[in-house]
Structure 1
Amino acid sequence: MAGIEICSSCVVRMEKNSTPNSIFELNQWDLQLLLADPSQRGIFFKTNGYQTLESQTLLVDHLKTTLSRTLDYFPPLAGRLGTTANSDGTISFHINCSNAGAEFTHAVAGNMSISDLLEPKYIPDTINSLFALNGVVNSDGVSKPLLGVQVSFLADGLFIGCTANHAVLDGIALWHFFNSWSEISRGAETISKLPVFERWFPDGIKSLRIPPLQQNESANFVRPSMLRRFFHFSKQAVSELKAKANQEAGMDSISSLQAVSAHLWRGVTRARRREKIKKGCNQEDQREIPCMFAVGARDRIPLPDGYFGNGLIIAQMFCQEAEILENGLGYAARKMKDLVAQHNRDAAIKYAQHWVKNPVVVEYPAITTFAVGGSPRFNVYGCDFGWGKPVAVRSGMAQPLDGKMTVFPAPEPGGIDVEAWLAPETLMAMDDDAEFMEAFAV
């Protein structure tokens, strides 16, 4: 498959810079992600008429101009991280809205079509080249841009990829920015939802302090090879999984996301178990395996509409393989439902208070797990820049973890798409799992 050619790269700053050098302190949800990778999300558009460099340049200039106008509403994304060394040896982090600018890259892959990137069973590594700022971690935002945009022109369309510092925003905030930029690109004079940048701190404590950051220990591991695959659950499949999970659990409150996540959890666990048996591990593994769920704090605290930052609680539980495999879909879905339900308002506040007293910066170890992030509620397909809605969404290479599931809405309402990072043998075993693949027959 042909590569991606970079045509130009520049810095885009706010057009008006109406809040010069504003400072926003990072809170507990932001700081816990300093050693993680940025968030990388991008969308494909089917377009015609951008085969020549002249036509591409006109569109690129339009996108630069509208990005500059959009950054006026999102000054943190045009800034850099700042640090303060405290007398007790700790460090405090903040966002300095310095208007140092976002990175903007114009790229071309004229011999490559959208189908070349979407149709393969496993997501090709070429997708990674559609994103800027590969290889950075969030703490690099002291000197690196907090936002990198790459517009890549393909033979029959284009891809707009955003790499955003995850210590500055989460998925909700990233799609808030993406949707706002598309509004300005379509000609809107202002955006429909204004962001709120003031962070929420437990007990009103600001300027949180953390120990000096150490090199991410996971960088010393040689990660096992992994593949990515998009699993598409149609509206009918989601409905059937939800009905089955609720029926088996004897309830009616298991959500679509919990049912789909439970189906994936059981499928991944079965596949890993079968591969271990093939390798001679015949004894039942009683080791507890982790399951993690990104739980939103916005509705639980609650935070103001338009809150622009992180609002994520990393909920975790441990279950034995046999516990998941010997019980049905309803059991696994109820376990997930109970995990989420435990993280109510009081738990969310206690989580934040505990973190302030015992700060832990998340690392991504080279272990197998099962972790669910993202949401089917993100307004991915409302990002119309003026030439129609996106046809697909993809992520970059950030945060590779064996067992990471990133959830997106499907193009058709009611469906759910999940991007799965897994070991090759796990994905292949799932292909041969009739119970798992049955969900994709509808």
Structure 2
Amino acid sequence: MVQAAGGIKVADILNPYIPDHVVFNLFSLNEVRNYEGVSKPLLSAQVTELVDGIFIGCSLNHVVADGTSFWHFFNTWAEISRSGSHKILQPRPVFGRQFLGGLIDLPVHLPFSYREIIGKPIIKSSSFDAFLQRVVFHFPKEKIARLKAKANAEMGTTSNISSLQAHMAHLWQATTRARHLQPDQQVNYRFAIGLRQRWEPETLPKEYLGTAIIGVNVTAIASELLQNGLGWAASQINKKISSLTPEQARNDLEDWVKKHTLIPNMRNPTLLARLLTGSSPRFNVCGNDFGWGRPLAVRSGAGDKMDGKLTVFPGAEEGSIDIEACLLPETIQTMMDDAEFMEAVA
């Protein structure tokens, strides 16, 4: 779909305080749930002509594909547009499901009906997310390196804790401080781990078209998280990621097939101590030249917007990271007044 947005400029989109009433309209399939893919499109693209630029919005059903699959598609689309040819350098997607052989029988039949799924209560964005604000925090490469060095030094290691893990820990602590939780409040951090390199007996190709991720949780007590330093917080994330073995990943998938569960409603406003990170700084986002030049920025649509959602993107400068934070306005303001947090922000 192609449309024009009169009066909207690139500068409006680049505003660190994201104008959701503008950006959300640049995407289609807003408020469409994954389970509605049985009757609604699985993929939708919308190209919007701004006053002084172009915005390309793409929506994809998360049951069909994960971030790796999404950006493989987007990278291929950009190459076709740029070159004007179907002879592309991007590797072809892999549709095979042979790696599931002997593990589960396809297709998986859910033990509840479509009517039962849609009958579950849903908190719409209009009823809760209207109170939220989105802002982009930019972290330069050199400041991320300092976070990594600090976390490893505190734990007496050299490089066990990665840059991303140290960065996630920095955000976890900052949001916990900003929320002014009770000292004994349990804080939960949920993030996705990719399974392509963890699958056995053979790894999945990165071009595998599907969803190959698993969500994991790290929990701590608020006072414990804030008193033990960056290194301790990062080490908790590191341990959780390191503990996911190929055997555990296969067992989790097999258990889910035996006992199906639905992800709980993460929009629930009573989950005050929840944090959720999606996407990855390793995706090729800034290289998507459709023939109009390199992109200036990336923004996400209305899907999965909730208090505590942190979306990670690579920054425009190599090695930098942009965090699109969706939080209560008072939480964001407190974080921006937090010298310890802002020391790592550009």
Post-superposition shift, 1:122? 4.1
Three-state SS of the structure 2 residue aligned to 1:294 is: strand
| Partners of 1:185 and 1:295 in 2: CA distance | 31
Q: 1:207 to 1:124 in 2, by over 3 A?
A: closer
Aligned to 2:327: 422
Asked if 1:346 is matched to 2:250, the reply is no
Post-superposition shift, 1:337? 0.6
- RMSD value over aligned CA atoms? 1.7
| Partners of 1:217 and 1:250 in 2: CA distance | 48
**Match of residue 154, structure 1, among 29, 45, 50:** 50
Q: How does 1:280-359 map to 2 (within 5 A)?
A: 284-301=182-199, 302-359=203-260
1:364–1:399 CA contact under 8 A, matched in 2: no
CA offsets, 1:291-350, max 9 Å, x none? Answer: 111000111002123100101100112211011111111111111111111112111111
2:104–2:257 CA contact under 8 A, matched in 1: no
Asked if 1:217 is matched to 2:118, the reply is no
Moved runs in structure 1, 4+ residues, more than 3 A? none
**Match of residue 115, structure 1, among 11, 16, 27:** 11
Q: Which moved more, 1:181-190 or 1:315-324?
A: 181-190
Aligned to 1:239: 145
Structure 1 spans left out of the alignment, 5+ residues: 1-104, 277-283
Aligned to 1:400: 305
Post-superposition shift, 1:220? 7.5
2:187–2:219 CA contact under 8 A, matched in 1: yes
CA offsets, 1:342-362, max 9 Å, x none? Answer: 112111111111111111122
Q: Percent identical across equivalent pairs?
A: 44
1:122–1:230 CA contact under 8 A, matched in 2: yes
Aligned to 2:69: 173
Structure 2 spans left out of the alignment, 5+ residues: none
Three-state SS of the structure 1 residue aligned to 2:286 is: helix
| Partners of 1:220 and 1:155 in 2: CA distance | 31
Asked if 1:266 is matched to 2:173, the reply is yes
Q: 1:390 to 1:174 in 2, by over 3 A?
A: same
Three-state SS of the structure 2 residue aligned to 1:339 is: helix
| Partners of 1:268 and 1:149 in 2: CA distance | 33
1:218–1:363 CA contact under 8 A, matched in 2: no
Three-state SS of the structure 1 residue aligned to 2:63 is: coil
Post-superposition shift, 1:205? 2.5
**Match of residue 194, structure 1, among 92, 96, 118:** 92
Would you say how many aligned residue pairs link Structure 1 and Structure 2? 328
**Match of residue 31, structure 2, among 123, 135, 140:** 135
| Partners of 1:386 and 1:122 in 2: CA distance | 26
Greater Rg by CA: 1
Q: How does 1:73-92 map to 2 (within 5 A)?
A: none
Equivalent AA in structure 1 for residue 43 of structure 2: L
| Partners of 1:113 and 1:227 in 2: CA distance | 20
Q: 1:434 to 1:246 in 2, by over 3 A?
A: same
- TM-score, length of structure 2 as denominator length: 0.90
- TM-score, length of structure 1 as denominator length: 0.71
Post-superposition shift, 1:136? 0.7
Three-state SS of the structure 2 residue aligned to 1:380 is: coil
| Partners of 1:372 and 1:119 in 2: CA distance | 22
| Partners of 1:419 and 1:385 in 2: CA distance | 24
Post-superposition shift, 1:141? 1.2
2:306–2:326 CA contact under 8 A, matched in 1: yes
1:217–1:363 CA contact under 8 A, matched in 2: no
| Partners of 1:123 and 1:241 in 2: CA distance | 30
| Partners of 1:176 and 1:122 in 2: CA distance | 26
2:16–2:137 CA contact under 8 A, matched in 1: no
| Partners of 1:440 and 1:317 in 2: CA distance | 24
Equivalent AA in structure 2 for residue 217 of structure 1: P
Three-state SS of the structure 2 residue aligned to 1:319 is: strand
CA offsets, 1:101-145, max 9 Å, x none? Answer: xxxx21212322111121253444310000011121111111111
Equivalent AA in structure 2 for residue 162 of structure 1: C
